Each structure stands twice: as C-alpha cells, then as structure tokens.
Chains A and B, each alone.
Chain A
Amino acid sequence: MTNETKQTLVIDEEQFLPRREMSNLERWLGTDTYRALRGMVTNPTSIVGLVLLGLFLFIALAAPILAPPISSNPYQIPRDGYGSVPKPPGTLWNSRQPELPFWWKPIMGTDQWVHIMGTASGQWDIYYGVVWGTRTALQVGLLITFVGAAVGITIGAVSAYYGGWLDMVLMRITDIFMAFPFMLAAMTLSAVLTPVLGKGLFPPMIALMAFGWTGFARLLRSDILSVREREYVLAAQVIGVKDARILFRHILPNAIFPTLVLGSMRIGSYVITFAGLSFLGIGAEVGYADWGQLLSFARAWMTNLGEYWYIVIFPGVALVLFTLSWNLVGDALRDVLDPRMQGSR
C-alpha cells in the first residue's frame, strides 16, 4: 500500500497551463515589454502620438538640412533687416539670405529662398524659429523632466523606503514646494536666477526643475508604499534579500510605471510653461530659436492677428501638437500598462 502511493508521483493530475509559443522578439524583449510595445503600436491614440512625436524628432534631427544655419550659432534666428512690420509667408529674402538648402531648387525650381512662414516684427524668420525651436523644445522638455523626475524619484523612494521622521521631513518639504502656484513660483525663481546666471535657457529650466519634481516624489512614494505591502516583497525578505536590493529589484519595477506615465505627460506641459516664461520675456535671449519667444513677437500685434496670423499660428500649432503628442503617448502608455498590471497581479 505504501509502495503504491509512493509510485504514483503527483505531476500529471493538474492541468498545467499550456506553454504559449513566443516569437523571438518576445523572447528577446521579455513578455511584459513586448506586450507593452505591441500595445503601443496597435493602439490608435498612441499611433497618432507616436507619429507626431516622430515628426518632431525628424524636424529636430534634420534641422541643419531643413534650415541651414547662418552663423556659428544655429539657434540664432536669422533676420532679414530690422523693419518692425511682419511680412507674410512667401516673401522673398532680401538681405543676408542664409545658404539655400539643397532640396529647395529641385522642388521649387528657383534659386530664390523665401520666408516660408513669414517674418515676425524685427524681421526674424519664423520658419527658422519653428524648426530650430523644435530642438529647443525637445531639449528643454526632456532635460527638465529628466532632472525633475530623477529628483522626485529619489526623494519619493528614500521617503517611502526609510519612512519615519525622514519621510515626514521630506514630505513636508514636498508640501511646501507644492504650496506655491507652479507658474508663479517658476517665474519668480527664474527672475531671481537670471541676474546670477545671465539671460538664457538655464534660469527658467532650473526654476521648472526646482518646482517640477514634487509630483513625481508624491506619486512614486505612494506607489512604493502600496507595493511594499504585497506578499512577494515579504517573500523576498524571507529569503534574506538585502533591503536596498528589494527596493530596486523587487519594488521599484512594480511601482515605477505610473511615474513614467506622469513623466511623459509632463514633458509637454513643461514645454508649454517654458514657452509661457519665454513669452513673458524670462528665458532665452532675443532671437534665440524658441517657440515661446516667437509667440512673444506677436504681443505688439494682438489686435491685428487677422492680418498677422502667421506669427501666432506656426509656433502656436507646433507647441500644441508637441504637447498633444506627449499626452497621447502618456495616455496610451497608461492604457497598455494598466491591464498588464491587473492581469499579472
């Protein structure tokens, strides 16, 4: 009797889940990444977002070809004289015409370079501003978000991990930073920093970083706190894994996704805020390729926008589409990550 029971080993009674065939790509990327990526390229919202984003990336990368720089500083928008009245799209370049891009003649059949998007008052070429401004937007948006997220993630993780009085202190500091209205705080700080660092992109960027990390810290902290209660964290403790490793390998990968989604959503809004500061004259020096700066050229012509629409429309549309693309991507990221998280809990 005992022999009999010993011999019927226990494997077969349970129906094991059949092993799903995986493609090589899936094997290489890992199931989760693969699923997320597949979600990203099949979800219509995210396709629109990704296409727009791809377009901006292309413009940024191809800027020297799309708009060959005139001086050693390519971010300096070339100007065609000093007249104060804007000129409409299609106006010929008069003076100091930049080098003609190679694609212009085969397409247009002429040697004559025009102001493709018109000029702003002061004869700044809007096309150059929009094209090179794409680079500025990407740099500014990514850098602010990157630094802001890094600071926020560090503070959020430390806070959740150590808890106790350190958590208390860090969260009260976060509260204080959050208590300031974001735009106003960023404006004040960059105005204070400008005399110290000189006029340029840095004062507003630093100001936005200084006030932008709070959302990341809060979000990550609460997600870590909730993940920390999961049984698999206890299971890792039970086998004697070091606390720091538990945080980085076991908790963070489960808690970081909402923060990444927030990050991608924030890129657009930082660029908008940055443009807002530029518009107010805090930020890039005059003539620096930056969408907010271009928009500020329209300030004197607010009442005649019917006539001078091009000063607002081109940089404005660029700004809106840029923000939209990041929001769509962020939205789609959240959609593809959420069901995954539910499915695997």
Chain B
Amino acid sequence: MAVGIDLGKPTSQHLLEVRDLTTRFYTEDGVVHAVNGISYTLDEGETLGVVGESGCGKSVHALSMMRLIPIPPGKIEKGEVIFKGRDLLKLSEEEMRHIRGAEIAMIFQDPMTSLNPVLTIGFQITESLQLHQGMDKAQSRERALELLDMVGIPEAALRLDDYPHQFSGGMRQRAMIAMGLSCNPSILIADEPTTALDVTIQAQIVDLVKRLQDKLGMTVIWITHDLGVVAGMADRVNVMYAGSIIETGPVKYIYGDPHHPYTLGLLGSLPNPEGSMGVRLYSIPGEPPDLVGMPKGCPFAPRCTFKVERCLHEMPMLEEIEPGHLAACWEKDRVRRV
C-alpha cells in the first residue's frame, strides 16, 4: 500500500523463479529426500539444461513444479514456484489445470508409454486444444494437422486417426511434442525425451525442438543425464546431485571451467572430442546415495577424490565463482578441468 516492499507477495521479474523447492516421499522404507531446497531462475526464451545421474531428483523437481507428484506418499514440503508472478504451489487445483498444458507443457522419456494405446493420435492432440482454447472438433483437428506437419510427420491428414502402435518411436516422440506445443506454452519441460530413442533419431528430436524454440520463442527446460545432449542447446545448466543443485552456470563455464568434482566426473564420462583415437569413457566410481536418511555433510563425499575432512561433516552451500556461476564444494578452488 503505502511504503516498503510487501514481502508476503511473491514477485519476480523472471518468467520462472524456483525458491527453496523441497519435496519428500514418505515411504515405508523411510523418508526419501528427493528434492532438497533448489532455487533458480529462468527467463523468457532461455534454455536450461538439468543434468544428473539417475535418481537425483530431476523428474521429481519438474513434477513438483507441475504439482503432479503423487500425494501421498509425496509431499512438497516448502518452497515457491513463481511463474509469471504467481506462486504455482498456492494456486487452486482448478487454476493449476489451466496452467498445465496451456502455460507449461511437459514431454516424457518414453514415447512408447506416454501415448495412450486406445486413443488416436488426433484425439490426444486435440484434447488439449479443446480444453484450453475452447476450440470445437473441426477447429482443433485443423490445428492438430498444422502441428503434426510442423513436427515433421508426413501425410498428417491420414495419420490423425492412427493409433500410437502404428507410429514408430521417433514419430511418437514427434507426436508428443506436437501435443506439448499445441497451446503455445511459455515453458516446455522435456524430461529425457531422447533417452529411449536411438542415436540418429535423438539428434533429429533435439534439432526439432531447437528449431521450434526459435520459431515459437519458448523457454525450454531440458532434463537429461547426458551432458553431451545439452551442450549444444542449453544456455545454462543446473547440475543436480542427490536432490540438490551442486553447480549451476552458463553452459560455457560448466563445460569449460567446472568447479564441482561431480560435474567433472560427468564431463569425464563424455567421449573426449580431442583424442580422436582414444575415446575415453570414464564413469564416476561408486553409487549415488540412496535418498533415505541423507548423510551429514556433502552427499558426494563418499565418491569424491577431492574430499577433505570437512566434507564429511558440513554440507557446502552454492557459492559464486564468477557472476552466474555457482558451485557447492568446499574444495572448489582446487577443482579444475584437466
């Protein structure tokens, strides 16, 4: 009203701002600390890569933003997800439904299982259009044709009444992308959309999303465990480990000057582009921690070659290395790419 900043109201000049998002699963085996207080911002048109090994909370973080984790056993403990100035975690279920698909879309890893086998491709694409844009059947079919065409499915008019099993894996993922983009969402979350596809088709899908992003000006969150995939497309990268962001920064710093041993490890597991003959495949020894009963100290310490006494007792926080580039490691000054 009069003076000062109303701190109770979430405001953000970013398209999306995640603050201290924390999600747990209360299972019979104990409390799974799936996402542990992650924060980041995302601006319009940006591409964010979210990278980490299997089970580090990448999907749960995305589903928490969409409020689609199963409750129970899941629970979003705290945090804010401010999208266009509104905290998604405080919206009613009805308001949230109008965000999903219309404002934030999501595509999944396995196009074989993420299309409903008993519904036609056309039905599945038009559903969202009828839902969010109030189109009738004819209009939505028209638009679905455009979309299928746009994602590169030939003879779209004939394909609309096909069932998913009549499509190949790559085509299904294209159809999924068409579904995701149908209502011109501001944000597209792609959860490992290429993992289940073979390499050449992976490249095509990545390329397709890049082209569409240029064309439609979307913001993309690209989740993957493969740093190589995001190298060519992301502006910034969040490296996740055990439910936390352990390093974040512009893509060139993450690749050129990583300061967390885990990021280093992930990079080491990439085929070395220089050594033309000796393609070095190096994977991080040890297992990611089980997220039940998190250890005190740095979760990566048991697998870390840089660890010192302090790492076992004290959890490091994200600290700035250069503007926009942060890492959570006590020994970050020693960590260098070789």
Contacts and interface: CB of A to CB of B under 8 A. Distances in A.
A19 B159 contact: yes
Nearest to A343: B165
Given A19-B159, A343-B165, A344-B163, A14 B204 contact: yes
B119 A239 contact: no
B132 A240 contact: yes
Interface stretch (B37-45, B107-115, B305-313): B107-115
Contacts of A341: 117
A240 B176 CA distance: 15
B166 A17 contact: yes
Contact of B100 (A27, A238, A343): A238
A228 B234 CA distance: 33
B201 A239 contact: no
Interface of A: 9-11, 13-17, 19-20, 27, 31-32, 230-232, 234-242, 249-250, 253-254, 341, 343-345
Interface in B77-99: 96-99
Contacts of A234: 63, 68, 108, 114
Contacts of B179: 235, 239
A248 to B, nearest CB: 12
Contact of B152 (A9, A19, A27): A9
Contacts of B204: 10, 13-14
B131 A241 contact: yes
A238 B207 contact: no
Nearest to A253: B118
A224 to B, nearest CB: 14
A69 B108 CA distance: 65
Most A Cβ at <10 Å: residue of B108, B118, B158? B118
A114 to B, nearest CB: 54
A239 B114 contact: no
Contact of A14 (B98, B118, B201): B201
A232 B159 contact: no
A254 B119 CA distance: 10
Interface in B144-170: 152-155, 158-159, 161-168, 170
B118 A32 contact: yes
B52 to A, nearest CB: 20
Given A14-B168, A249-B119, A231 B97 contact: no
B68 A238 contact: yes
B34 interface: no
B116 A239 contact: no
A317 to B, nearest CB: 40
Contacts, number: 111
B105 A239 contact: yes
A232 to B, nearest CB: 4
A310 B155 CA distance: 66
A254 B155 contact: no
A249 B119 CA distance: 9
Nearest to B163: A31
A166 to B, nearest CB: 14
Contacts of B96: 240
Contacts of A20: 166
Contacts of A19: 155, 158-159, 162, 166
Given A32-B163, A230-B113, A238-B68, A17 B118 contact: no
Contacts of B114: 231-232, 234-235
Nearest to B110: A231
A170 to B, nearest CB: 18
Interface size class of B (residues with CB under 8 A): 35 or more
Given A13-B200, A17-B166, A237 B128 contact: no
Given A14-B168, A19-B155, A240 B97 contact: yes
Given A27-B161, A240-B131, A344-B165, 7 more contacts: A14-B170, A15-B168, A17-B171, A236-B127, A343-B165, A344-B118, A344-B163
A164 to B, nearest CB: 9
Contact of B66 (A238, A250, A253): A238
B106 interface: yes
A239 B131 contact: yes
Contact of A235 (B98, B166, B176, B201): B176
A36 B182 CA distance: 32
A242 B97 contact: yes
B167 A17 contact: yes
Given A32-B118, A231-B108, A253-B118, A10 B152 contact: yes
Contacts of B163: 31-32, 344
Given A19-B155, A250-B119, A240 B98 contact: yes
B102 interface: yes
B208 interface: yes
Contacts of B117: 232, 254, 341, 344-345
Contacts of A343: 165
A15 B176 CA distance: 18
Contact of A239 (B100, B154, B208): B100
Nearest to A242: B97
Closest 3 CB pairs of A and B: A239-B101, A344-B117, A240-B100
Contacts of A11: 152, 154
A20 B154 CA distance: 14
A341 B98 CA distance: 32
Nearest to B200: A13
